[in-house]
Chains A and B, each alone.
Chain A
Amino acid sequence: MSLLSFLVRRLVHAVFVLFGLSIVIFIIARVMPGDPARMAVGARAPQWVVDRLRAQMHLDQPLVVQYGYWLRDALQGDFGLSLVTQRPVTRDIQEFFPASLELVLFSGVLSAVGGIGLGTLSARYKDTWIDNLVRLFSYAGVVTPSFVFAILFVLLFGFTLKWFPIIGRLSENVPAPPTITGLITLDALLAGQVGTFADALKHIVLPALSLAMGSIAQEARITRASMADNLNKDYIAAARALGVPERIVMGRFLLKPSLIPTVSILGLDIAATLSIAFLVELIFNWPGLARYGMTAMLHKDLNAISAVILVLGAAFILANILVDVIVAQLDPRIRLRAARSE
């Protein structure tokens, strides 16, 4: 019961935040200088065309009424036409979102595995050269922006070593698998095309790694700190004194409570990756939502901008709720507190 009411409370809050976000976006899109109707038809179009479009877009009415129309359409999944692609924005998003999702999911997996792995290693060999190496790496990872990593990886693994391709999601001579989920790696597996899967996997390694580096570093730091904290607790000493194998002490007794801060930050990081993906998608020519949003922004395509921000905002909020649920599962204290406060 408590989990359910917790979820309901979070969802109500999420709806509220999204509602507020929609107002902010609307203000950005409408109050900022420039006439959307004029922008849509171009500078050469005669005034009567602009006026007709203004009436069609309800631009001649008060802002509150405009917002009402905009919200009604948005709730029905209608964000209007994109100025750049001349297609409904919703269709564009459906097309580009899976690519971004795939990238973010892969980078999330890399961050989790890499960060927790390195952090555990660092805590296990605390104050040895391994620990120092991991800490040096974490510091470098935290201070280097993702696009710098992207460029270094392109240079090193793409051009010099030629281990991985650096453009797009698939090689040109590899046909795309039938679209089921839109995630090419998953679709290829579902269709049983192992070769296509391998090719898609090769394409995703570098962009996903560039995105993940910062959060791997962050996760390693947090896991190390939290494990080092717990390592001095009495119950660990007790377990060791009782002769519990070190593998079980580290893997079960120590790792689980130490993962709580890691998981909460990891969730935030993965959600934030969606926004940093802008630059990485640009460098790797990855046909994702972030690159689409970027093109829209450079062309002042307000319909597309609003939709992209709302979708990214919703994904961010959803990821946060998911993290809270997972953390509650990991940490009985939080679960109990939530139950007691009912």
Chain B
Amino acid sequence: MAEQAQVSLDLTRTFTAQQIRQLERESRRENLGRAWYKFSRNPLSIVGLVTVVVLVLLAVFAPVVAPYPRHAGPFTDFANAKKPPSLQHLFGTDQIGRDILSRIIFGLRSSLLMGVVVLALVVPPGVLLGLIAGYFHGTWIDTLIMRITDIFLGVPPLILALAVASVLEPNLWNGMLAVSLMWWPWYTRLVYSLTSALRNEYFVTAAEITGASTAHILFREILPNTLSPVFTKMSLDMAWVIIIGSMLSFVGLGVQPPEPSLGTMVADGARYLPDQWWIAVFPALAIVVVVLGFNLLGDGVRDMFAAEGV
């Protein structure tokens, strides 16, 4: 059917399917170019992008980049314990002589992993439930899904995440699970409000009249129109998930020692204030840099989508 498809944009010209595809490609390239232009107009967005790329590269290539890769594990060197920042150890060493810079670089891994995994676990079900509840607006399905969402949104996510994490075995994966369990309702709420409005649009009605399946309407007609706010929220949420992840490990419910994590390093270092301030302060600053990077990037993504009128 696609071979013979002819779409007339004006009355004098017709296009073959191949030409249409060509046009589609061109307009996609143009859109990408325009999005990049909007994103790059704010230098802070570029700073955010560069920061995030550098952090990701550091995390991925940690064993190569870190000056003392062995210090990321169960390593002790009491002769060099609590050394202030120097040329050998730029950020100093901790209470058992491990290089803090190396541990921060390795600690980035669990922080970034936390953000990525939690969003990957949370967004699909959250969006799906929002689509369904929004499309069946006013029916019992809507009521059921949205009332359950209300319960989760009624309490600050950190508390429930802490509670779930505390009854599970404390480790990184259960920490991710706990945060994920509490995070999906935000996406359901967002997509629900978008879908409730979109379901009355003409293109949805048109699809319904032509007999399109519910799945087609949900995923091919409505879903693409909800994606830019979802992506914007995701890029801003990365920072939040990383903060909550560092809070979990701060109280001992996340990554377990000797595996390095920024939150745990701050918590351990807090005991050596004020004399060995570097043990706590550098990991704390690292958290701030990570969160700042993702926040700037997220703002850029928001600017990119904002002018599209979604």
- Whether A97 sits at the interface, judged by CB under 8 Å, is no
- Whether B281 sits at the interface, judged by CB under 8 Å, is yes
B295: chain A residues within 8 A (beta carbon):
139, 142-143
- Whether B138 sits at the interface, judged by CB under 8 Å, is no
- Whether A148 sits at the interface, judged by CB under 8 Å, is yes
Q: How far is the CA of A274 from the CA of B158 in the complex (A)?
A: 10
Which B243-274 residues have a C-beta within 8 angstroms of A?
243, 246-247, 250-253, 266, 270, 273-274
| Secondary structure of the A contact surface, majority rule | helix
Q: How far is the CA of A302 from the CA of B164 in the complex (A)?
A: 11
- Whether A186 sits at the interface, judged by CB under 8 Å, is no
A278: chain B residues within 8 A (beta carbon):
158, 162, 247, 251
- Whether A83 sits at the interface, judged by CB under 8 Å, is no
User: Among B84-92, B118-126, B127-135, B148-156, which stretch is in contact with chain A?
Assistant: B148-156
Other-chain contact of A159, B152, B163, B273 (Cβ < 8 Å): B273
A32: chain B residues within 8 A (beta carbon):
164, 167-168
Which interface class (under 10, 10 to 19, 20 to 34, 35 or more) fits A?
Answer: 35 or more
User: Among A22-30, A62-70, A189-197, A325-333, which stretch is in contact with chain B?
Assistant: A22-30
Closest residue on chain B to residue A275 by CB atoms: B156
Given A16-B147, A21-B151, A147 contacting B274 (CB threshold 8 A): no
CB distance B163 to A25 under 8 Å? yes
- Whether A272 sits at the interface, judged by CB under 8 Å, is yes
- Whether A109 sits at the interface, judged by CB under 8 Å, is no
- Whether A86 sits at the interface, judged by CB under 8 Å, is no
- Whether A317 sits at the interface, judged by CB under 8 Å, is yes
- Whether A55 sits at the interface, judged by CB under 8 Å, is no
Q: How far is the CA of A278 from the CA of B253 in the complex (A)?
A: 13
B152: chain A residues within 8 A (beta carbon):
24
User: Among B58-66, B221-229, B285-293, which stretch is in contact with chain A?
Assistant: B285-293
B155: chain A residues within 8 A (beta carbon):
21, 309, 312-313, 316
Interface code A148-185, partner B: CB below 8 Å = 1, 0 otherwise? 10011011001110000000000000000000000000
CB distance A145 to B167 under 8 Å? no
A85: chain B residues within 8 A (beta carbon):
none
Q: How far is the CA of A44 from the CA of B295 in the complex (A)?
A: 51
For chain B, the count of residues having a C-beta within 8 Å of the partner chain is: 40
CB distance A24 to B151 under 8 Å? yes
- Whether A322 sits at the interface, judged by CB under 8 Å, is no
Other-chain contact of A148, B148, B166, B266, B273 (Cβ < 8 Å): B266
CB distance A143 to B239 under 8 Å? yes
B266: chain A residues within 8 A (beta carbon):
147-148, 151
A152: chain B residues within 8 A (beta carbon):
281, 284
CB distance B247 to A151 under 8 Å? no
Interface code A293-327, partner B: CB below 8 Å = 1, 0 otherwise? 11001101010010001001100110000000000
Given A143-B239, A145-B291, A151-B273, A28 contacting B164 (CB threshold 8 A): yes
CB distance B160 to A279 under 8 Å? no
CB distance B273 to A34 under 8 Å? no
A147: chain B residues within 8 A (beta carbon):
247, 250, 266, 284
Given A143-B239, A145-B243, A312-B155, A300 contacting B288 (CB threshold 8 A): no
CB distance B154 to A316 under 8 Å? yes
CB distance A159 to B274 under 8 Å? yes
B168: chain A residues within 8 A (beta carbon):
32-33
Q: How far is the CA of A297 from the CA of B270 in the complex (A)?
A: 21
Other-chain contact of A29, B150, B167, B252, B285 (Cβ < 8 Å): B167
- Whether A94 sits at the interface, judged by CB under 8 Å, is no
B156: chain A residues within 8 A (beta carbon):
271-272, 274-276, 312, 316
CB distance B167 to A302 under 8 Å? yes
- Whether A144 sits at the interface, judged by CB under 8 Å, is yes
- Whether A283 sits at the interface, judged by CB under 8 Å, is yes
Q: How far is the CA of A314 from the CA of B116 in the complex (A)?
A: 32
- Whether A17 sits at the interface, judged by CB under 8 Å, is yes
B261 to chain A, nearest CB (A): 14
B159: chain A residues within 8 A (beta carbon):
275, 293, 309, 312-313
Question: Would you list the 4 A-B pairs with minimal beta carbon distance, nearest first?
Answer: A297-B166, A20-B151, A159-B274, A275-B156
A-B contact pairs, 23 of them (CB 8 A): A17-B151, A20-B151, A28-B163, A28-B167, A29-B167, A33-B167, A147-B284, A148-B266, A151-B281, A154-B270, A154-B273, A158-B274, A275-B156, A275-B158, A275-B159, A276-B158, A278-B247, A278-B251, A283-B270, A293-B159, A294-B251, A312-B155, A313-B154
